[in-house]
Structures are given as structure tokens and as C-alpha cells.
């Protein structure tokens, strides 16, 4: 599965603590998280892979699929611990603060895996 920044405002280091993909396995009732970008050591430390801009993407593996037939199912930027099914959910979740305010968490997008 690939999630892409569709455009608009970039996700930048100065206001972001982390940008995470949250996968919910509907049949098992479990959740797995894959960090897209994250500050190292807290909000005042510089993180890696910033900014996330329009067209940037993160690929996440279903561990039961070998996408490139190299006998290794870990072919993407990240992986979850369950096979994707049609009723599973993915959320793009941002945590950060605007100009030194209190940190907050916002869901930027939701989708059902289909």
C-alpha cells in the first residue's frame, strides 16, 4: 500500500512532532503504526525526511506479499504485522503544535483498504 501527500501545505519540521500511518486490523481488533517522519528526541530536535510535500509517498508492506518476487516480503518503506484485508482501515495522523502552542493530534485522512 502506498500513501501519497496529495498537495497543499507541506509537513514541516518546525511544527511537526510526527506524521504516522495508523493501520487497524478490523478482524483482529489490533493496530500497527508506521512513522513517516518524526522528530528525534522531541519537538525541539531536528527530525529526518522533512519536509513531506505534494507527491511524496510512503509505501507499507503487507507481510504476506512479496511485491518484487525477491523472496523477501519486506519490500517497502515500512511494514505492518498483519495481512491487509478489505475491511481494514488506514489513518494519516499528525502530531505537532502551531508556533509553540500545545501539542495536538489530528487525523488528516482516513481510508478503507479495498
User: Which pLDDT tens digits describe the chain residue by residue (114 residues)?
Assistant: 899 999 999 998 878 889 999 999 999 999 999 999 988 665 556 677 889 999 999 999 888 877 778 888 777 888 898 999 999 999 999 999 877 788 899 999 999 997
Report CA torsion sign: 59, 64, 70, 74.
positive
pLDDT score of 71: 81
pTM of full prediction above 0.75:
yes
Residue 57 is placed in which grid cell?
509517498
For residues 83 and 64, is the Cβ–Cβ distance under 8 A?
A: yes
Beta-ladder partners of 24: 31, 89
pLDDT score of 86: 92
- Of 29, 39, 84, 42, the closest CA to residue 59 belongs to 84
Backbone angles phi, psi at 108, to 5 degrees: -90, -30
Amino acid at each position: 500500500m502506498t500513501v501519497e501527500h496529495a498537495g497543499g501545505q507541506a509537513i514541516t519540521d518546525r511544527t511537526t512532532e510526527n506524521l504516522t500511518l495508523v493501520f487497524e486490523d478490523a478482524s483482529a481488533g489490533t493496530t500497527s503504526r508506521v512513522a513517516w517522519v518524526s522528530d528525534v528526541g522531541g519537538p525541539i530536535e531536528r527530525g529526518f525526511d522533512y519536509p513531506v510535500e505534494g507527491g511524496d509517498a510512503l509505501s507499507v508492506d503487507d507481510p504476506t506479499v512479496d511485491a518484487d518476487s525477491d523472496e523477501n516480503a519486506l519490500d517497502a518503506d515500512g511494514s505492518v504485522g498483519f495481512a491487509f484485508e478489505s475491511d481494514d482501515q488506514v489513518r494519516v495522523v499528525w502530531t505537532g503544535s502551531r508556533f509553540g502552542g500545545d501539542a495536538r493530534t489530528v487525523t488528516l485522512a482516513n481510508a478503507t483498504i479495498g
